[in-house]
Structure 1
């Protein structure tokens, strides 16, 4: 279950897991290990019939496969399977049911709650990295894409095929499947919509092994459910058909940075006032942290020469920036810059060959804010909470939606992504790397930030920034009832489940 995220590369610290083998905890670990061993023994003969690559506890391949973006939980699956065909996915589902273990598909492994490892110990993880089929139809401006692609390689493939794109996120190691099925916001989404809005069709393997197509005319209820709530609640998606968009023209990346804490209120107010009516050709994100930094970074789908008038309202109301960067690029250079690379980087970097997944331990929450934005009291409460914690290892991102965006032109009931009236969404993150003693304080800090902002915002949260403490109503709102009905139809035995999956009732 992947999700769009931009943890900056310089904050990543590999987490060293420390196990305290004392008393009941050690006994529980031994019981859990015993159960995993029994589950693996049941799975092995069944999975072997399909001849997909597998990894079981006790092997280095298994330990390598357990490495995911969020290392806070470190769940231990019963086994990993790496299918390359639909038949092997069908076999994996059948084997998990036969062995009585849970099943979890994995794309990029970026779930904020480790749901790509199942959200608990002892599941069969179906790693979809082998599904890299790709085709592009220039006439219809569509692309058929396997569920195993990560964003970086997919951006490059689309660019090379026809200088086209999908409006996905900036973190190039994120998997397309989880990202798209949960919504998928990126630096062209205000013009082209969310990635979920650009899914024209999906191929899905159901719990009973049936392979179905979901689109506007075939299984439209499943099509509705997948576009916003499709990550491991209804089946395993093996392939997408996307609407793609021409990006052959010049585009512009801009970034304005401030380093003075006293300017944060003014700059944030300027951002949200400007964001209400900014044209859809601009997508942007505002950044705050407890060090006193703030910045606005974004993309203009047009040449540098036409950008300045579109930023006038913001820059007139913000403080004078400490630094400014405005650079006209082609689309693939923009992807590299958004990924933290210089614009002259070899585009083949996006193939992610030899790439090591960045990891960290963190707590995150999200919340949507509607226009006209936070009141002055709300902004003050937000900044006070941000600057009043036990850590400075935190950041806060405000991703712009706004009434001019294509995102908010879609009715709330058209897809399971219900958040269609927002000005921006907030992503709040505190991270502690291998300093496990900081976990409780940092978690309380993020929870306090959320509680401080909540009275001035909505009750909605972004499912791609999943947080185990949030109710499902925050993610699906008025669409939750329809999703439960769809769950009863498409997965009546609740084969596909995780701690925050769509329930049967």
Structure 2
């Protein structure tokens, strides 16, 4: 492979990552957090008269309106569409400080929301409205690997790239998750967590075996298969600020010591419909070791990228059904690497970079003003008329509809679809692929915003007319969608769990699990 081809692959992967970005069991760790947990004792802060005084009790760093750090933190989120104004930011370093923040929110009747990476598509990591306390969890990055158990326990403040690097360094293992480096593991895991390793290893929610959570009464509970199993069930797919603040996770890890092949193919601009049809036919029978995404845009952008957990010499056989039905590719790049080099490339760094860059020191991620929608489709996917309508509507839409990503979730071999829908809150177990639709505009361009949102809604409705349901992916949260789209047949059980753990609805945002 030439240097130019390698550079192009890295550029293509970084563009994909930006599309997603701007759209978007060990005693060691337990002691490092648990010995700093305070009892939930309301008398401890009985004299706190206001928010400043109340939060000061725990000695956590804070930022209030008027502080320089407040504005920097408030605007350092992916979506600048809403620009919510929290009552305060709290930057805890201990579980006790998280407990204190929850206590203050309850005492003073102020909303509260945890924040990991700040990537919520509807800015729910800022509370989803003005006036909430935002608990920034980025200091929670302890990690402990239990090789014998095949698990890792991590703080909920990790971002994905640093987590992947840490896991590689401790044992050449990983957890299945997204490709974009700055996404926070907390919201990602609690809302699903799909990525290019998910058809083999499951989504990240499926790999949660235990969680530690601060509840609405400021106590700390552990949820696993034995203790508070119903809470663990709810957290695995619906846990983003509906039940409490998760401070640490224990995940199942997977060996990634063998080579991985990343691939990318470009197809003619005029052949989007044929490529999509080939993609969904192939996806139904694709081996579990491959996961891929099809990129389409209004100008005719038409490309496939993904990962195969195996050597490049086997890739032609793995993709044969797709290639037999797709138009001939105009460009292709195939790269076999070790896992951590694969992470570097997918994170937008040079394959020759020192892996330490994945720690994201002095790294600033892009921000944008956008609207996104998603729709999950069951096999066999769209009929011929549905594909034709989808592509014609996309091409006729606003030129600033940035892209559509068709992400392969299911198929007969996918681990995601082998889990019964009632086994955890993430209910979408009969899905072939997810379609993500994304549009963006300049912050203050109200007329362009209206035009773009109208176009993306029209595109969503065009696809919706050819589907059997209205499921959507909760990590691509869209405030226009009903909760049934995200939780389906599991919604009523989730409401029951909400009543149990947060009967006063302390943890809420516009699309949180309700109390009713």
- Give the TM-score taking structure 2 as reference length: 0.90
Provide the rounded CA distance (Å) in 1 between the counterparts of 2:100 and 2:65: 20
Aligned pairs (5 A) from 1:57-456: 57-66=65-74, 67-258=76-267, 260-401=268-409, 402-434=411-443, 435-456=445-466
Deviation digits for residues 312-336 of structure 1, max 9, x if unmatched? 1111111111110011011011112
CA deviation after TM superposition for structure 1 residue 209, in Å: 1.1
Deviation digits for residues 377-428 of structure 1, max 9, x if unmatched? 1101111111111224410011102221000001000000000001101110
CA deviation after TM superposition for structure 1 residue 8, in Å: 4.1
Checking the alignment, whether the CA contact within 8 Å between 2:400 and 2:440 is kept in structure 1 is no
Could you tell which deviates more after superposition, 436-445 or 126-135?
A: 436-445
Name the counterpart of 1:21: none
Residues 413 and 116 (structure 1), Cα distance of their counterparts in 2 relative to 1, 3 Å cut? same
Checking the alignment, whether the CA contact within 8 Å between 1:291 and 1:392 is kept in structure 2 is no
Residues 283 and 488 (structure 1), Cα distance of their counterparts in 2 relative to 1, 3 Å cut? same
Provide the rounded CA distance (Å) in 1 between the counterparts of 2:18 and 2:129: 30
Deviation digits for residues 24-45 of structure 1, max 9, x if unmatched? xxxxxxxxxxxxxxxx992100
Name the counterpart of 1:498: 509
CA deviation after TM superposition for structure 1 residue 185, in Å: 0.2
Q: Residue 469 of structure 1 aligns to a residue in which SS?
A: coil
Provide the rounded CA distance (Å) in 1 between the counterparts of 2:303 and 2:480: 29
Provide the rounded CA distance (Å) in 1 between the counterparts of 2:323 and 2:21: 35
Provide the rounded CA distance (Å) in 1 between the counterparts of 2:326 and 2:503: 53
CA deviation after TM superposition for structure 1 residue 13, in Å: 12
Provide the rounded CA distance (Å) in 2 between the counterparts of 1:321 and 1:41: 67
Q: Residue 432 of structure 2 aligns to a residue in which SS?
A: strand
Checking the alignment, whether the CA contact within 8 Å between 1:229 and 1:417 is kept in structure 2 is yes
Residues 13 and 268 (structure 1), Cα distance of their counterparts in 2 relative to 1, 3 Å cut? closer
Provide the rounded CA distance (Å) in 1 between the counterparts of 2:391 and 2:19: 21
Deviation digits for residues 426-450 of structure 1, max 9, x if unmatched? 1100111334431111011111111
Task: Could you tell me which runs of 5 or more consecutive residues in structure 2 were left unpaired when the two chains were aligned.
Answer: 1-12, 24-47
497, 506, 511: which is aligned to 1:486?
A: 497
Checking the alignment, whether the CA contact within 8 Å between 1:12 and 1:358 is kept in structure 2 is no
Provide the rounded CA distance (Å) in 2 between the counterparts of 1:195 and 1:356: 25
Provide the rounded CA distance (Å) in 2 between the counterparts of 1:315 and 1:243: 34
CA deviation after TM superposition for structure 1 residue 10, in Å: 6.6
Checking the alignment, whether the CA contact within 8 Å between 1:272 and 1:372 is kept in structure 2 is yes
Q: Residue 50 of structure 2 aligns to a residue in which SS?
A: helix
CA deviation after TM superposition for structure 1 residue 14, in Å: 10
Checking the alignment, whether the CA contact within 8 Å between 2:401 and 2:455 is kept in structure 1 is no
Provide the rounded CA distance (Å) in 1 between the counterparts of 2:112 and 2:195: 29
Checking the alignment, whether the CA contact within 8 Å between 1:12 and 1:433 is kept in structure 2 is no
Residues 10 and 84 (structure 1), Cα distance of their counterparts in 2 relative to 1, 3 Å cut? closer
Residues 14 and 473 (structure 1), Cα distance of their counterparts in 2 relative to 1, 3 Å cut? closer
CA RMSD of aligned residues (A): 1.8
Provide the rounded CA distance (Å) in 2 between the counterparts of 1:346 and 1:289: 34
Q: Residue 159 of structure 1 aligns to a residue in which SS?
A: helix
Q: Residue 106 of structure 2 aligns to a residue in which SS?
A: helix
Name the counterpart of 1:19: none
Provide the rounded CA distance (Å) in 1 between the counterparts of 2:14 and 2:508: 27
- Give the TM-score taking structure 1 as reference length: 0.92
Could you tell which deviates more after superposition, 353-362 or 428-437?
A: 428-437
Task: Could you tell me which runs of 5 or more consecutive residues in structure 1 were left unpaired when the two chains were aligned.
Answer: 16-39
Q: Number of paired residues?
A: 476
Name the counterpart of 1:33: none
